[in-house]
A and B are shown apart, each in its own frame.
Chain A
Amino acid sequence: MSQFLQPTILLLREGTDTSQGRAQIVSNINAVQAVADVVKSTLGPRGMDKMIQTGPKVTISNDGATILNLLEVVHPAARVLVDIAKSQDDEVGDGTTSTTLLAAELLKEAKPFIEEGIHPQIVIQGYRKALELALEKLEGFSINISRDSPQEKRDTLLKCAQTALNSKLLANTKQFFSELVVSAVEKLDPNILDRDLIGIKNVTGGSVNDSFLVDGVAFKKTFSYAGFEQQPKRFENPKICLLNLELELKSEKENAEIRIEKPEEYQQIVDAEWALIYEKLDIIVKAGAQIVLSKLPIGDLATQYFADRNIFCAGRVPQEDLLRVQKATGGQVQTTVNGLNPETFGTCGLFEEVQVGAERYNLFKNCPQSRTATIVLRGGAEQFIQEAERSLNDAIMIVRRCFKANKIVAGGGAIELELSRYLRHYARSVTGKTQYIVNSFAKALEVIPRTIAENAGLNSIEIMNKLRQRHAQGGEEGRWYGVDINGASGVCDTHSSFVWEPSLVKRNALCSATEAACAILSIDETVKNPKSDQDTKMKPRGQPGRPPMGMRR
């Protein structure tokens, strides 16, 4: 090199980290594996929780998406996993851990092929083909549950909710909570099923069994001024006025200037200001409102004015709560009181202020067009309630999904094993490298039952053998055999023991896991820019980990 005196070609900024080629794919796979290992032990009904401390905040969770999010993954390839977990969470709300595990397992299976020199694109093609077949089969296997009677439908929903709650802290009270969740979802508009309309309120104290469902809206007592206690706290069929308006004695316009000549006029200005607020209050009272809620503050003057006229008011109601009240009571939020029309008022069967633990709550019950529900969660510790909320969230999402799509599959790893069996069988009929790859896909699917068994402290190898044998016998009989964490034999028909999941969850999990795996396999070069100047001032230049390689000749 030196005899030609070839100058160094600097293509990228100094300190840029690049790596490429087969080694890059393998190293990406390793990184993904490491991340998936963290969430592995949370899978299944015997899954454990993780405690993650970020700053002063401590989170205890069993939810894959939550954990991955809190880990603050910075490795670019491993971030893909975080993203699919999140997308699964957004799309179906549950099954985040299994998606992550599946993606990692697919990559693990692909690793030997890459190392042996099979082109990644062939692996990708094989995986896509296998996915296509699996999805097709999944559709065929899923059971269309009869929806004739509402009772049967409700039963199905309960079963699905229970399966989702199985692995969570609430597992022991799943009967109770599945009832809550299903009743809450049933309250929603069946066409839209807007998740935002189910409110979950946390109140520390009490035991989880003290949690309850309000068929309407509940929110915490807002900040109140003197006079609030004199207001009535209970109404039947009240007229509810919803406002986005400040009811306070204050200057109407900033920077306005008024010139007055005589001292007598001074009083007029003062009176004018009072007149303004009184006028507003008067309109509300005249219109016949009995409960006044506002997103903006309701001052002490207005509080006392309402108290004198037996009207309940609450200011600074959070936006989402006001929205729910609007939906539940059929009222409309007004931004002015001018031309206030009683038709814009909502109503509900019963309004009450009640004491829940140490907090006071406003409850709007028996709403006429109730399209909302609120779950008030109780529990011993803050973290406990937070985790309970996340678990309920998963259950709510699952029930929503079930509500829409009426197909289910059996959980406990049964469906994965059945798909795996089918793919293995299919693989024998193809020639070429694809055979290997479809086989790997089939093998990767087995990670789900295996992990469930492992986490439950069972002998996973023995269980897997039993399950494979059951499934291989084929037919309707062996199809739904999955891991049984309670029984002595370790396997059971999960369909008849009601471990049910909506097939949509599985479908989405398979798709996104495969997509993620393919995406990572197709990356053969990473270019990582050095950290920005601010960081480099603190640290000496260059990456501490990997030396720059490749670009310099």
Chain B
Amino acid sequence: MSLAFDDYGRPYIILRDQGQKKRMKGLEAYKSNILAAKAVANTLQSSLGPKGMDKMLVSPDGDVSVTNDGATIVEKMEIQHPTAKLLVELSQSQDAEIGDGTTGVVVLAGKLLEQALTLLDKGIHPLKISDGFDRACDVAIKHLETISEEIDIQANEHEALIQAACTALGSKVVSKRKRELGKIAVTAVLDVADLARKDVNLDLIKIQTKTGGSVEDTRLISGILIDKDMSHPQMPKEVKEAKICLLTCPFEPPKPKTKHNINISSAEDYKKLYQQEQQYFVDMVKLVKDSGANIALCQWGFDDEANHLLLQNELPAVRWVSGTDVELIAMATGARIIPRFQEITPEKLGKAGSVKEVQFGTSNERMLVIENCQCTKAVTILIRGGSQMIVDEAKRSIHDAICVIRNLIKDNRIVYGGGSAELACSIQVLQYADEVSSVEQYAIRSFADALEGIPCCLADNCGLNPITSVAQAKARQLQESNPRIGIDCMELGTTDMKEQRIYETLSSKKQQIQLATQVVKMILKIDDVIAPDDY
């Protein structure tokens, strides 16, 4: 790129590595940015909705993942283009805040950009477009709030929550089992939820995956599952009325942190040292045993000698338990983490109904289940499935469902899915557009068109004729002034989403529209791109 020429027409060197930089200005810059962002949105478009397709992504190391989750797809695509990256972040930020609707937000942004492109071709100033979008967004959000309905999450054994979870799971690979999984997710969230504060700490729900079995075998453990087994094969496999001793020190002779070495000059000394070491093990086991503990979980390893002694003293033990698990167990069982043997007291032990080792399938893999913990506030969802890919996808799907339920606990207002909310907003925005007398009118109208793109896309993915089905739905919404008419994706014979029980959270829909508008505004504001030449 060159900025200036001297009197002889030779370019000046003004910027560093000027020759290797490229500059795009004005309309060219807008268009290139919009096209790049649209390319990302187009990739995701076919994943939207209950009949959306999955994407197979192969990482540089050859790991394959198959997913339908927008945030995961864009993350694994490893997008380079700076504007396209904005959409990736958009999807991730929806994921971080809401956890669901990551595909929808990107598709909406793509539709908005598509509309912006036509407006730019008409010669409308990009900032006028973004102003218009902004106003339209406000109208849409307000309308969403008016059509939203409060649901009673307690009623009918949390039926509403289960339905919402089912909606979230409906588009995933596990949709066949959505009701079972939905129930699991709802129970898990309600177990740890603080309903008074309307808060859910998702850290307390551990999702553990294990290949093998089928998705039906997925279950909820009201306790903690750790991927470890007893340190010695002969130890008992089950401990009832467990008193757990949580240690963060190894069953080994203590070592000072200061550098040290031991010089032994005579055989006598050697013996003495050996005896002392033996004594340590005996003392350690005794200390644990004396406190009344009947199982020891240790963050570090054991000396073989110690392991043997533990077995002899009938003290089952588990080694190399990870730090986060130690913390979780401590929370659930009311145990105190003990940093050295001298400090073991009966009060610091945690209590649980049972600790048992379970084996899965024919494989030789075992896991420890700690159930009926004293202050149970931690639960584990154990996901089973035929292959690693299915298990991973199921994990992501359940995560989405859990997020939806959490959002409903925080804010129990819902809107109906199936594109009905978008259609209703679109109609409202279109009405508003006619009241605006300035150039923004065009932008506002385009915003309405973009919103309509979502049900269109849904219908398309379900193999329906997008134009006819959206037109029908829209006409019925207007005739019956019923904002719940959407696309009948599952061909259940009704387009009223209330009857189909397709629930989506208001917060997620609001966030989608707001975030998409925000990013589109940002992209529209860039009129100059300076980048290295290979960009």
On A, residues with C-beta under 8 Å from B are: 23, 26-27, 30-31, 33-35, 37-38, 41, 46, 48-53, 55, 58, 60, 62, 70-75, 78, 169, 172, 204-209, 225-230, 249-253, 255-256, 258, 263-264, 266-267, 269-270, 273-274, 300-301, 304-305, 307-308, 355, 357-358, 379-384, 387, 456-457, 545-546
Residues from chain A with Cβ under 8 Å of B248 in the complex: 226, 300-301, 304
* Contact (Cβ within 8 A) B515 A207: yes
Q: Is B89 an interface residue (CB 8 A)?
A: yes
* Contact (Cβ within 8 A) A274 B340: yes
* Contact (Cβ within 8 A) A74 B257: no
* Contact (Cβ within 8 A) B96 A358: yes
Nearest to B338 among chain A residues (CB) is A304
* Stretch of B162-170, B329-337, B379-387, B449-457 at the chain-chain interface: B329-337
Q: List 9 A-B contacts (CB under 8 A).
A: A23-B7, A35-B14, A41-B527, A49-B525, A229-B328, A230-B327, A251-B256, A300-B248, A380-B93
* Contact (Cβ within 8 A) A205 B93: yes
* Contact (Cβ within 8 A) A31 B96: no
Residues from chain A with Cβ under 8 Å of B82 in the complex: 51, 53, 58
* Contact (Cβ within 8 A) A263 B276: yes
CB proximity to A under 8 Å, residues B432-479: none
What is the bound-complex CA distance between A320 and B453, given in angstroms? 47
Shortest Cβ distance from residue B315 to the other chain A in the assembled complex, whole angstroms: 22
Q: Is B122 an interface residue (CB 8 A)?
A: no
* Contact (Cβ within 8 A) B3 A34: yes
What is the bound-complex CA distance between A307 and B97, given in angstroms? 29
Nearest to A383 among chain B residues (CB) is B86
Residues from chain B with Cβ under 8 Å of A252 in the complex: 258
Summed over the interface, the residue pairs from A and B with CB atoms below 8 Å come to a total of 214
Q: Is B125 an interface residue (CB 8 A)?
A: yes
What is the bound-complex CA distance between A146 and B265, given in angstroms? 90
Residues from chain B with Cβ under 8 Å of A172 in the complex: 131, 134
Enumerate the 4 nearest inter-chain pairs by beta-carbon distance, A residue then B residue, closest first. A358-B96, A34-B4, A34-B3, A53-B531
Nearest to B199 among chain A residues (CB) is A355
Tell me which of A50, A53, A273 contacts B257 (CB under 8 A).
Answer: A273
Tell me which of A55, A230, A266, A273 contacts B331 (CB under 8 A).
Answer: A230
What is the bound-complex CA distance between A308 and B335, given in angstroms? 10
Residues from chain B with Cβ under 8 Å of A269 in the complex: 256, 258, 260
* Stretch of B186-194, B210-218, B284-292, B516-524 at the chain-chain interface: B516-524
Residues from chain A with Cβ under 8 Å of B388 in the complex: none
Residues from chain A with Cβ under 8 Å of B327 in the complex: 226-230
Residues from chain A with Cβ under 8 Å of B328 in the complex: 229
Shortest Cβ distance from residue A224 to the other chain B in the assembled complex, whole angstroms: 9
Shortest Cβ distance from residue B228 to the other chain A in the assembled complex, whole angstroms: 15
What is the bound-complex CA distance between A59 and B396, given in angstroms? 32
Shortest Cβ distance from residue A203 to the other chain B in the assembled complex, whole angstroms: 8
Shortest Cβ distance from residue B336 to the other chain A in the assembled complex, whole angstroms: 6
* Contact (Cβ within 8 A) A49 B260: no
* Contact (Cβ within 8 A) B528 A38: yes
* Contact (Cβ within 8 A) A250 B257: yes
* Contact (Cβ within 8 A) A273 B518: no
Q: Is B236 an interface residue (CB 8 A)?
A: no
Q: Is B324 an interface residue (CB 8 A)?
A: yes
* Contact (Cβ within 8 A) B4 A30: yes
CB proximity to A under 8 Å, residues B241-287: 248, 254-260, 269, 272-273, 276
What is the bound-complex CA distance between A31 and B336, given in angstroms? 70
Chain B interface size range: 35 or more
* Contact (Cβ within 8 A) B519 A381: yes
Q: Is B223 an interface residue (CB 8 A)?
A: no
What is the bound-complex CA distance between A41 and B530, given in angstroms? 14
Residues from chain B with Cβ under 8 Å of A304 in the complex: 248, 336-337, 339
Residues from chain A with Cβ under 8 Å of B257 in the complex: 249-251, 273
Nearest to A259 among chain B residues (CB) is B263
What is the bound-complex CA distance between A41 and B30, given in angstroms? 14
Residues from chain A with Cβ under 8 Å of B531 in the complex: 51-53
Q: Is B34 an interface residue (CB 8 A)?
A: no
* Contact (Cβ within 8 A) B85 A78: no
* Contact (Cβ within 8 A) A75 B527: no
Q: Is B83 an interface residue (CB 8 A)?
A: yes
Q: Is B511 an interface residue (CB 8 A)?
A: yes
Tell me which of B12, B339, B514, B529 contacts A75 (CB under 8 A).
Answer: B12
Nearest to A210 among chain B residues (CB) is B97
Given contacts A34-B4, A228-B327, A251-B259, contact A58 B526 (CB under 8 A): no
Residues from chain B with Cβ under 8 Å of A33 in the complex: 4
Given contacts A51-B528, A169-B525, A304-B248, contact A34 B14 (CB under 8 A): yes
Shortest Cβ distance from residue B105 to the other chain A in the assembled complex, whole angstroms: 9
- 16 further contact pairs, Cβ within 8 A, besides A72-B16, A226-B330, A355-B199: A30-B6, A46-B125, A49-B525, A204-B96, A205-B92, A206-B97, A207-B518, A208-B518, A227-B330, A229-B203, A266-B276, A274-B340, A304-B337, A380-B89, A381-B522, A456-B125
What is the bound-complex CA distance between A225 and B322, given in angstroms? 11
Given contacts A48-B526, A204-B96, A380-B90, contact A229 B331 (CB under 8 A): yes
CB proximity to A under 8 Å, residues B1-27: 3-7, 10-17
Mask of B485-526 contacts with A, CB within 8 angstroms, 1/0: 000000000000000000000000001001100110110011
Q: Is B127 an interface residue (CB 8 A)?
A: yes
Shortest Cβ distance from residue B519 to the other chain A in the assembled complex, whole angstroms: 5
What is the bound-complex CA distance between A256 and B336, given in angstroms? 34
Residues from chain B with Cβ under 8 Å of A380 in the complex: 89-90, 93, 515, 518-519
What is the bound-complex CA distance between A225 and B327, given in angstroms? 9
Given contacts A27-B12, A60-B526, A251-B258, contact A263 B126 (CB under 8 A): no
* Contact (Cβ within 8 A) B511 A206: yes
What is the bound-complex CA distance between A48 and B27, given in angstroms? 12
Tell me which of A249, A256, A263, A382 contacts B89 (CB under 8 A).
Answer: A382
What is the bound-complex CA distance between A258 and B255, given in angstroms? 14
Residues from chain B with Cβ under 8 Å of A358 in the complex: 96-97
* Contact (Cβ within 8 A) B13 A75: yes
Given contacts A300-B323, A380-B519, contact A270 B4 (CB under 8 A): no
Residues from chain A with Cβ under 8 Å of B336 in the complex: 230, 304, 307-308
Nearest to A77 among chain B residues (CB) is B14
* Contact (Cβ within 8 A) B522 A383: yes
* Contact (Cβ within 8 A) A226 B125: no
* Contact (Cβ within 8 A) B96 A226: no
Residues from chain A with Cβ under 8 Å of B518 in the complex: 207-208, 379-381, 384
Mask of B50-88 contacts with A, CB within 8 angstroms, 1/0: 000000000000000000000000000000001101100
Residues from chain B with Cβ under 8 Å of A301 in the complex: 248, 339
Residues from chain B with Cβ under 8 Å of A381 in the complex: 86, 89-90, 93, 518-519, 522
Nearest to A301 among chain B residues (CB) is B339
Tell me which of B33, B93, B258, B515 contacts A273 (CB under 8 A).
Answer: B258
Shortest Cβ distance from residue A424 to the other chain B in the assembled complex, whole angstroms: 30
What is the bound-complex CA distance between A263 and B12, given in angstroms? 79
What is the bound-complex CA distance between A206 and B511, given in angstroms? 7
Shortest Cβ distance from residue B241 to the other chain A in the assembled complex, whole angstroms: 23
* Contact (Cβ within 8 A) B254 A357: no
Q: Is B326 an interface residue (CB 8 A)?
A: yes
Residues from chain A with Cβ under 8 Å of B10 in the complex: 545-546
What is the bound-complex CA distance between A35 and B134, given in angstroms? 33
* Contact (Cβ within 8 A) A207 B258: no
Tell me which of A46, A51, A228 contacts B529 (CB under 8 A).
Answer: A51
* Contact (Cβ within 8 A) A206 B93: yes
What is the bound-complex CA distance between A534 and B503, given in angstroms? 66
Residues from chain B with Cβ under 8 Å of A274 in the complex: 340
Nearest to A209 among chain B residues (CB) is B514
Residues from chain A with Cβ under 8 Å of B12 in the complex: 27, 30-31, 34, 75, 545
* Contact (Cβ within 8 A) B256 A273: yes
Nearest to B528 among chain A residues (CB) is A50
* Contact (Cβ within 8 A) B323 A204: no
Tell me which of A55, A205, A384 contacts B96 (CB under 8 A).
Answer: A205
Given contacts A23-B7, A269-B258, contact A227 B337 (CB under 8 A): yes
Mask of B107-143 contacts with A, CB within 8 angstroms, 1/0: 0000000000000000001111001001000000000
